[in-house]
Structure 1
Amino acid sequence: MNDDALVALRGASYAYEDGPLVLSDLDFAIRPGRALALLGRNGSGKTTLMRLLSGGLRPRTGHLALDGVPVTYDRAGLTRLRTTVQLVLQDPDDQLFAASVAEDVSFGPVNLGLPRDEVAGRVAWALAALAISDLADRPTHLLSFGQRKRAAIAGAVALRPRVLILDEPTAGLDPEGQERLLDTLAGLRADGTTVVMATHDVDLALRWADDVALLTPSGPHLGPAAATLARADLLAQAGLRPAWGIAAGRLLRAQRLIEDDARGPRTAAELDAYAAALRGGEAAG
């Protein structure tokens, strides 16, 4: 367990009523400043893990710690946790309920009892951070799916959390919407927010994350993104296919087009660069 963990589950287990253990004797830490991707097949425990980390569920055994101090589940303890850790669900309609976007985003700060001016400032900042300031007065039911996703995230970041946990945030978005969201997350990280993302998209995890946690039947495997996602055995346990960049690198090595110790392409731009270099070498030959 990392001593510098912002949030950590220690020896935690959880089972839903009358069901088997979903997670057992789990040690899991979120470190500050790292982009962390959670990956695993449906039913692997990703949602349970996110709800435990954000206080929506309470471990049956073990405990959740915030800055090294065990979390209490009374009003004061949960307020402390939820102003530090925010979870945004996959379906924005599970979180949006107010008449307008601005009203929805203001809900959390208002419930913290903040002064009106500070609430207004947080709402304006969150809307700007998610690039939806022009939607402040728009009824939430008139938003597009991508706009609803951004509004739900704005409601979370208005609380100025140190950790933002996102459940499949790019699901249902077109490529342009995905890139806009990733740009937004980069901006939030630059402002000091640690971002955790659950996803089925191995290519996205390889491109975006510093670290990944693969949830497998033998437990979570946490490590640097590139090295962990290169483990075909772990990906198979997690029910995932290799990232296309890693697969392309293996193919290039098999064809002896790159050296065995060379890192293969991981993005479309890198693959284009490899292809251009190969064409240049063929022309020179």
Structure 2
Amino acid sequence: MSGSAVLVALRGVSFSYEDGPPVLDGLDFEVREGRTLALLGRNGSGKTTLMRLLSGGLRPREGLLTVGGQPVRHDRAGLTRLRTAVQLVVQDPDDQLFAASVGQDVSFGPLNLGLPDAEVRARVEEALAALDIGALADRPTHLLSYGQRKRTAIAGAVAMRPRVLVLDEPTAGLDPDGQERLLATLASLGATGTTVVMATHDVDLALRWADDATLLTASGAHTGPASVVLGRDDLLAAAGLRLPWGVAVAHLLRARGLPDAPVPRTPSELADLAERIPGTGG
């Protein structure tokens, strides 16, 4: 993890809403290039606030937001530069979609950058293809299914070609097939150079999907390899989360004669490990 370049970071950031207690206090947080990152914590831990600070929707009361190591100015030019680097997709797509059709909605961001029409069209086509909704370009947004609305909202962010894509509970409300398709899409985006940050309450999803995990607790942000951070009972308890099944299984496998058993992230990885357990015939 230490060898990856830091794309965007919060340094010593504190934030509180008007007349409210501090939500974040002296927080250090960073997103590293090419490392999928899961953000977890109990309700009220500051996940949404952190994401809005990263994307420029909120301004730190203390501390700095940096992109590529350079402080972000919260003026028009500075925020425009930030939003070409970092895009946030909120949990409810209906809070983000507003145009009459899918293509119009996805084109909104690139048009606001003042790009030539040909460039806007290319970006829209690219984003729709990346989210596998090219056939929906002319579909009215109010006729989309929930999963299609989710994909359209993400496509609008992807059309900005950000280096960092921040997603708030992107799998919430999707059926299992929809979740699998979205995860495959996120893998494709990662392969083309977009670093993805996902806020989620699902520890099993975080363990399966993320390279790194950040647990937000009252003592701050705790970040490291997902299998390590999500294996710490103390941090999970502080974050109001349970132990992921993969970590629990690794504990069992180690007790059954596999002292170096890795943490399985998927059922197929678990099946491979099970064959190595002494006495099972593997």
Same fold, judged at TM 0.5 (above): yes
1:202-256 CA-partner distances (Å, limit 9, x unpaired): 11111111111000111110111111111111111111001101112223334xx
AA aligned to 1:43 is G
CA distance in structure 2 between the partners assigned to 1:90 and 1:213 by the alignment: 19
CA distance in structure 1 between the partners assigned to 2:20 and 2:121 by the alignment: 44
Equivalent pair of 2:227/2:263 in contact (CA under 8 Å): no
Structure 1's unaligned 5+ residue stretches are: none
SS at match of 1:42: coil
Aligned twin of 1:152: 153
CA distance in structure 1 between the partners assigned to 2:263 and 2:115 by the alignment: 51
Aligned twin of 1:75: 76
Aligned twin of 1:261: 260
Aligned twin of 2:270: 271
Are residue 32 (structure 1) and residue 33 (structure 2) matched?
yes
SS at match of 2:151: helix
Aligned twin of 2:15: 14
Report the TM-score, using the length of structure 1 for normalisation: 0.94
Pairing of 1:51-200 with structure 2 (within 5 A): 51-200=52-201
Structure 2's unaligned 5+ residue stretches are: none
Q: CA deviation at 1:272?
A: 2.5
Report the TM-score, using the length of structure 2 for normalisation: 0.95
Equivalent pair of 2:4/2:32 in contact (CA under 8 Å): no
CA distance in structure 1 between the partners assigned to 2:12 and 2:280 by the alignment: 60
Aligned twin of 2:217: 216
CA distance in structure 2 between the partners assigned to 1:12 and 1:175 by the alignment: 37
Q: CA deviation at 1:261?
A: 2.9
CA distance in structure 2 between the partners assigned to 1:284 and 1:8 by the alignment: 49
CA distance in structure 2 between the partners assigned to 1:16 and 1:138 by the alignment: 39
CA distance in structure 1 between the partners assigned to 2:175 and 2:13 by the alignment: 37
Number of residue pairs matched by the alignment: 281
CA distance in structure 1 between the partners assigned to 2:209 and 2:238 by the alignment: 22
1:105-161 CA-partner distances (Å, limit 9, x unpaired): 000011111111111110000000000001111110111110000000000000000
CA distance in structure 1 between the partners assigned to 2:219 and 2:126 by the alignment: 42
SS at match of 1:19: coil
Equivalent pair of 1:46/1:198 in contact (CA under 8 Å): yes
Distance 1:263 1:96, change over 3 A: same
CA RMSD of aligned residues (A): 1.8
Q: Percent identity?
A: 71
Equivalent pair of 1:64/1:70 in contact (CA under 8 Å): yes
Are residue 239 (structure 1) and residue 213 (structure 2) matched?
no
Distance 1:3 1:184, change over 3 A: closer
Aligned twin of 1:250: 251
